[in-house]
């Protein structure tokens, strides 16, 4: 059957006609090669190759695609999810910024410089950086009357905020004022605020500058 | 029985006659581009070890010469040859004549006009910066319109087929007819019409280059291999029932494997990772195609030597397997750490384009040209020179690029070695590769001379008329090896 293929390179003779090639292969496509004994190993091995290709391909993707993050260009990048690193602890000064901007910045301004002749500055202020008992009292029960800040005289009223802000909020906002705005004073703890709140429970009305100067000498 | 055979023979003669001129025009242009591209490639290769060569002429500086050579070979030789072979085989297997061949002349004219303008544009300095898309933008439309005609002809010829059954070669040709325009238009739109930004550009480019080789040239070559093995051995493809699985798996994996070209590049890491997975998935079609091809050949290697086409087809199978294995290796991150961005990546593409695709086209041409023209090959010596040069060139080029690429990769990874020293260290290999390109070019010239003798109507004295015997029917029994 096997034709002699000595064509001498002049012209190639074919050993099968086109239509018979198509007919034979159409039959072969639907039928597997016959095995007289046992089963055929090839399809099983190929099934194994297919399954392991999909399996290991998926594992490899999961390990090296780094969450399909468009910004990661190296497969050795950290593989933890963004939330898995745990919460970052914020300082009291950082926590107090929001309260400062919503409560204090209306009068004292966001930069803490106040308004000349109207509201005294907090930035660089000897009061803000002074004894914490005094500033806690001002925030809790307000301030009324003349006061000298950074060598300038002011005469205005600050509303009491003790009913509005909790101890921790007061501690945070004071820590912010004392650590930011160019100030350098230690932060205030909520326990201190609670202690002062208990001390001033029997004090009625606004504080005045002379009264405050007697405290925390 | 005898009258059936005669009928089949008459029908085939009719098909071949209808395909004659379109195929000859496409193949003739392809061969001219093969020589021109080869010459440009040789010049570009010489510049790598003798930088002063042609350096004074702006048109022939390396930055223009290298892409011009690659584009001339891929779009000039590769596409034209694929058109010639694809149209002929589609007509043959669909058992229908190639209708209205005049339109294919128009398409051939426009395609070659486009490639001429494109290669000229690159040499004149109007190239873009994207691999295999270097041709100036205005060429795109010419190429697409020309391709549209050719693609429509392939698909229409398939849809008016006179056969009950569809063979594997037809799946690959039919698929490739759609994959090329898909790849080309998407790449053009995403890179030039409405360009994506930043790192997405090399991603699109890598996907296109990988697709062009893997979803256009490889399928055309596989169509040739699937056709010629039973055609010349008189034996059905073994394990043919696996071929559809291999086809679909190959297509799906190749479409996502392009990212593996970007291992180590600064792109989102999931893209090369997906490419690696896609490349690894190619193990399955590789096994199936090996079972199909090597299984069919097994026990028949003795008869390969007697058939010129089979010799080239066996080369093509070897080229495909080597290129695929190298592609698998290159998608391993540890191997890529050395081999990425060296001559080895070029070797992978070259093995597929030249080792697999071009050799399949040579083999096919040696089969169908005597049938189209009714003449014999005039010079056996030139045929043997062509085959010898191809084998020698393939073996030497594979050794040369592999050794040079491996050395280059190690030198590049050593921070103590200066770049200029690497260039000097590789000069010897570059000289070697230039010589090999010269050898290949000699083979191409030999083929062109034989082609002119067989195809040129004015020069037919002395070219004997071919005696083509009616082929016997393929029988299932031949598979088991008893008569």
Report d(CA B415, CA B402) in Å as an integer.
22
Predicted confidence (pLDDT) at residue B357 exceeds the cutoff of 70: yes
Put simply, whether A11 touches B (Cβ < 8 Å) is yes
Flag whether residue A14 sits within 8 Å of chain B, measured between CB atoms: yes
- What pLDDT sits at residue B288? 95
Please indicate, yes or no, if residue B359 is contained in any of the structural domains: no
> In this model, does residue A34 exceed pLDDT 70?
no
Same domain, residue pair A116 and A184:
yes
Give, in order, the Cα–Cα distances in Å from B93 to each of B96, B191, B227, B414: 8, 37, 9, 55
Nearest to B180 by CA among B219, B153, B206, B131: B219
Percent of chain B exceeding pLDDT 90 equals 77
- Model pLDDT, residue A81: 64
Within this chain, do residues B174 and B145 fall inside the same structural domain, yes or no?
Answer: no
Rounded Cα gap, residues A57 and A169, in angstroms: 53
- Residue B302's CATH number: 1.20.210.10
A176 within domain boundaries: yes
What are the pLDDT digits (tens) for B164-209?
Answer: 899 999 999 999 999 999 999 999 999 999 999 888 999 999 999 9
> Rounded to 10 degrees, what is the CA torsion of B57, B58, B61, B63?
-170
| Residue A72: inside a domain | yes
Whether residue B9 is predicted with pLDDT greater than 70 in this model: the reply is no
| Dist. CA B24–CA B29, nearest whole Å | 8
Q: What is the SS3 assignment for B232-267?
A: HHCCCCCCHHHHHHHHHHHHHHHHHHHHHHHCCCCC
Same domain, A105 and A138: yes
Cβ pair A15:B276 closer than 8 A = no
Residues 6+ apart with CB under 8 A from B243: A29, B168, B226, B237, B288, B292
Give chain B's domain count: 3
Nearest to B93 among A18, A64, A73 (CB): A18
Residues in chain A closer than 8 A to B366 (CB atoms): 9, 12
Cα separation of B24 and B17, whole Å?
A: 11
Q: How many domains does chain A have?
A: 2
Give the pLDDT score at B483: 34
What is the per-residue burial (b if ≥16 Cβ within 10 Å, else e) of B51-85?
eebbeeeeebbbebbbbbbbbbbbbbbbbbbbbbb
Indicate whether B265 and B291 sit together in one domain: yes
Burial class (CB in 10 A: 0-12, 13-18, 19+), B306: middle
Residues of B in contact with A72 (CB under 8 A): 268-270
Flag whether residue A85 sits within 8 Å of chain B, measured between CB atoms.
Answer: no
| Lowest mean pLDDT across A81-90, B118-127, B202-211, B428-437 | A81-90
Q: Which helix (H) or strand (E) element contains residue B421?
A: helix B419-455
User: CA of B383: which chain A residue's CA is closest?
Assistant: A9
Same domain, A52 and A129: no
In this structure, the answer to whether residues B183 and B58 fall within a common structural domain is: no
For B469, half-sphere exposure in the C-beta direction (CA atoms, 13 angstrom radius) is: 14
Question: Does residue B153 lie within any of the structural domains?
Answer: yes
* B39 confidence band (pLDDT: 50, 70, 90): very high
**A200 and A123 part of one domain:** yes
Same domain, B177 and B317: yes
Same domain (yes/no): B149, B208? no
Query: Do residues A188 and A150 both lie within one domain?
Result: yes
A69 in contact with B, Cβ within 8 Å: yes
| Assigned domain for A159 exists | yes
* Chosen domain end from B141, B163, B185: B163
| Furthest CA-CA distance within chain B | 77
Same domain? A131 vs A171: yes
Within a domain: A14: no
CA gap B224, B317 in Å, rounded: 10
Is B312 part of any domain? yes
Interface test with B, best of A25, A27, A48 (most B CBs within 10 A): A25
Q: A109 and A56 in one domain?
A: no
Three-class SS state of B375: strand
Decide if A36 is inside a domain. no
A2 pLDDT above the threshold of 50: no
Do B185 and B287 belong to one domain?
yes
| Residue B65 Cα distances to B46, B115, B117, B123, B143, angstroms | 11, 15, 15, 7, 21
CA closest to B365 among chain A residues: A12
Evaluate whether residue A129 is within a structural domain: yes
What does the block give as tokens for B409? 């990769």
Which of B139, B163, B187 is the endpoint of a domain?
B163
Query: Which of A4, A16, A43, A60 best tests the B interface by mutation, with the highest count of B CBs <10 A?
Result: A16
Selection from B249, B237, B233 nearest residue B169 by Cα:
B237
**Averaged pLDDT, B325-330:** 94
**Is pLDDT above 60 for B108?**
yes
CA B247 to chain centre: 18
Closest chain A C-alpha to B338 CA, distance in angstroms: 17
Reported ipTM: 0.85
pLDDT at B277: 95
Tell me, yes or no, whether A4 lies in a domain: no
Please tell me whether the overall predicted TM-score, pTM, comes out greater than 0.90 for this model: no
- List the single best residue of A18, A35, A48, A56 to mutate versus B (max B Cβ within 10 A): A18
Q: Is B358 inside any structural domain? A: no
Boundary (domain end) residue, out of A82, A111, A144: A82
Check CB contact under 8 Å for A7 and B306. Answer: yes
For residues B307-326, b (16+ Cβ closer than 10 Å) or e, as one string? bbbbbbbbbbbbbbbbbbeb
Band of residue B302 on the pLDDT scale cut at 50, 70, 90: confident
Could you give the CA distance from residue B273 to residue B271 in angstroms, rounded to a whole number?
A: 5
CB A170 within 8 A of CB A140: yes
**CB-based contact B236:B293 (threshold 8 Å):** no
Do A74 and A96 fall into the same domain? no
- Phi (first) and psi of residue A135, to 5 degrees: -65, -35
Whether A28 has its CB under 8 Å from any CB of chain B: the answer is: yes
* Whether residues B236 and B216 fall in one domain: yes
Do A168 and A141 reside in the same domain of the chain?
yes
CB A186 within 8 A of CB A159: no
A28 located within any domain: no
Distance CA B324, CA B213 (A): 11
Domain containing residue B190: 166-346
Q: How high does pLDDT run on average in chain B?
A: 91
**Averaged over B279-301, what is the pLDDT?**
93
B327 and B345 Cβ atoms separated by less than 8 Å: no
Give the DSSP per-residue string, B305-322.
TT-HHHHHHHHHHHHHHH
Dump pLDDT digits (tens) for B216-225: 999 999 999 9
C-alpha to C-alpha distance for A189 and B360, rounded to whole angstroms:
84
Q: Is the pLDDT of residue B473 over 90?
A: no
Claim to verify: residue A169 and residue A196 sit in the same structural domain: yes
> Which runs of consecutive H residues, i.e. helices, occur in B50-100?
62-71, 79-93
| Max avg pLDDT among B2-11, B195-204, B432-441 | B432-441
Confidence class of residue B479 from pLDDT cuts 50, 70 and 90? very low
Same domain, A73 and A98: no
Residue B472 domain flag: no
**Per-residue confidence (pLDDT) for residue B380, from 0 to 100:** 87
Dist. CA B105–CA B72, nearest whole Å: 20
* Domain boundary, last residue among B327, B346, B365: B346
Per-residue pLDDT at B1: 41
Lowest mean pLDDT among A25-34, A89-98, A127-136: A25-34
Residues on chain B touching A10 (C-beta within 8 angstroms): 370, 376-377, 380, 464, 466
Q: Among A190-199, B25-34, B201-210, B246-255, which is the least confidently predicted range?
A: A190-199
- The reply to whether A76 and A146 lie within a common domain is no
**Per-residue model confidence (pLDDT) at position A82:** 62
Least confident window among A211-215, B35-39, B142-146: A211-215
Q: What is the pLDDT of residues A137-149, one digit of tens each?
A: 999 999 988 998 8
Q: How far is B88 from chain A (nearest CA, A)?
A: 13
Select from A20, A30, A54 the Cβ nearest to the Cβ of B474: A20
- Coil, helix or strand at residue B160: coil
End-to-end CA distance of chain B: 18
Q: Which helix (H) or strand (E) holds B180?
A: helix B168-188
CA-CA-CA-CA torsion sign (A200, A202, A207, A211): negative
The DSSP secondary structure of chain A, one letter per residue, reads -PPP---TTTSPPPSS-HHHHHHHHHHHHHSPPP-SSS--HHHHHHHHHHHHHHHHHHHHHHHHSGGG-TT---TTS--S-GGGG-PPPPPHHHHHHHHIIIIIHHHH-TTS--BTTTB---TT-TTTTS-HHHHHHHHHH-EEEEEEETTEEEEEEE---TTTS-HHHHHHHHHHHHHSTT---PPPPHHHHHHHHHHGGG--S-B-HHHHHTS--
Same domain for B193 and B342, yes or no, is: yes
Q: Look up the domain containing A136 and give its range.
A: 92-213
Same domain, B159 and B174: no
């Amino acid at each position: 059957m096997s034709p002699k293929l000595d064509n001498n390179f002049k012209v190639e003779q074919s050993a099968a006609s086109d239509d018979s090639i198509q007919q034979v292969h159409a039959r072969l496509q639907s039928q597997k090669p016959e095995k007289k004994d046992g089963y055929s190993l090839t399809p099983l091995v190929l099934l194994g190759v297919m399954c392991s290709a999909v399996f290991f391909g998926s594992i490899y993707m999961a390990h090296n695609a780094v969450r399909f993050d468009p910004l990661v260009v190296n497969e050795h990048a950290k593989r933890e999810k963004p939330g898995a690193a745990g919460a970052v602890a914020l300082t009291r000064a950082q926590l107090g910024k929001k309260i400062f901007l919503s409560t204090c910045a209306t009068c004292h301004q966001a930069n803490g410089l106040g308004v000349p002749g109207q509201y005294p500055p907090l930035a660089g202020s000897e009061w803000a950086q002074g004894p914490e008992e005094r500033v806690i009292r001002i925030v809790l029960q307000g301030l009324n009357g003349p006061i000298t800040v950074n060598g300038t005289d002011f005469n205005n009223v600050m509303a009491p905020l003790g009913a509005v802000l909790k101890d921790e909020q007061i501690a945070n906002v004071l820590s912010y004022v004392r650590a930011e705005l160019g100030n350098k004073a230690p932060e205030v703890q909520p326990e201190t605020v609670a202690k002062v709140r208990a001390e001033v429970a029997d004090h009625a009305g606004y504080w005045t500058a002379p009264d405050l100067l007697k405290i925390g000498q | 029985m005898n009258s059936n055979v005669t009928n089949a023979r008459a029908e085939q003669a009719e098909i071949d006659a209808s395909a004659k001129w379109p195929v000859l025009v496409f193949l003739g242009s392809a061969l001219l581009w093969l020589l021109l591209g080869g010459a440009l490639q040789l010049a570009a290769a010489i510049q790598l070890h003798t930088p002063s060569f042609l350096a004074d002429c702006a048109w022939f500086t390396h930055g223009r010469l290298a892409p011009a050579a690659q584009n001339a070979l891929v779009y000039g030789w590769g596409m034209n040859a694929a058109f010639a072979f694809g149209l002929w085989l589609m007509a043959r297997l669909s058992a229908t004549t190639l209708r209205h061949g005049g339109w294919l002349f128009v398409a051939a004219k426009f395609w070659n006009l486009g490639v001429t303008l494109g290669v000229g544009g690159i040499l004149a300095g109007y190239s873009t910066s994207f691999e295999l898309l270097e041709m100036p933008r205005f060429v795109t439309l010419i190429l697409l319109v020309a391709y549209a005609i050719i693609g429509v002809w392939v698909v229409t010829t398939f849809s008016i087929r006179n056969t009950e059954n569809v063979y594997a070669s037809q799946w690959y040709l039919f698929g490739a007819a759609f994959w090329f325009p898909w790849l080309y238009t998407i790449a053009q739109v995403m890179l030039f019409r409405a360009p994506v930004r930043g790192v997405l550009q090399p991603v699109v480019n890598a996907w296109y280059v990988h697709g062009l080789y893997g979803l256009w040239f490889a399928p055309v070559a596989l169509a040739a291999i699937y056709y010629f093995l039973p055609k010349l051995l008189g034996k059905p493809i073994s394990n043919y029932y696996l071929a559809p699985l291999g086809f679909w798996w190959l297509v799906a994996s190749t479409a996502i494997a392009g990212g593996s070209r970007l291992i180590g590049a600064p792109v989102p890491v999931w893209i090369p990772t997906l490419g690696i997975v896609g490349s690894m998935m190619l193990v399955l079609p590789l096994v199936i195609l090996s079972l199909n091809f090597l299984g069919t050949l097994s026990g028949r290697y003795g008869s390969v030597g007697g058939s010129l086409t089979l010799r080239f087809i066996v080369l093509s199978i070897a080229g495909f397997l080597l290129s695929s294995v190298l592609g698998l290796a290159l998608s391993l991150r540890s191997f890529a750490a050395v081999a990425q961005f060296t001559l080895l990546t070029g070797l992978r593409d070259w093995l597929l384009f030249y080792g697999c695709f071009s050799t399949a086209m040579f083999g096919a041409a040696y089969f169908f040209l005597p049938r189209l023209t009714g003449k014999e090959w005039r010079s056996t010596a030139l045929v043997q020179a062509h085959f010898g040069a191809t084998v020698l060139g393939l073996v030497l080029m594979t050794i040369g690029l592999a050794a040079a690429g491996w050395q280059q990769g190690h030198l590049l990874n050593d921070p103590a070695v200066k770049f200029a020293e690497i260039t000097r260290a590789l000069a010897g290999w570059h000289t070697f590769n230039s010589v090999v390109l010269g050898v290949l070019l000699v083979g191409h010239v030999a083929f062109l001379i034989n082609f002119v003798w067989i195809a040129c109507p004015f020069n037919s004295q002395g070219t004997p008329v071919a005696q083509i015997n009616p082929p016997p029917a393929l029988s299932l029994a031949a598979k088991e090896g008893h008569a």
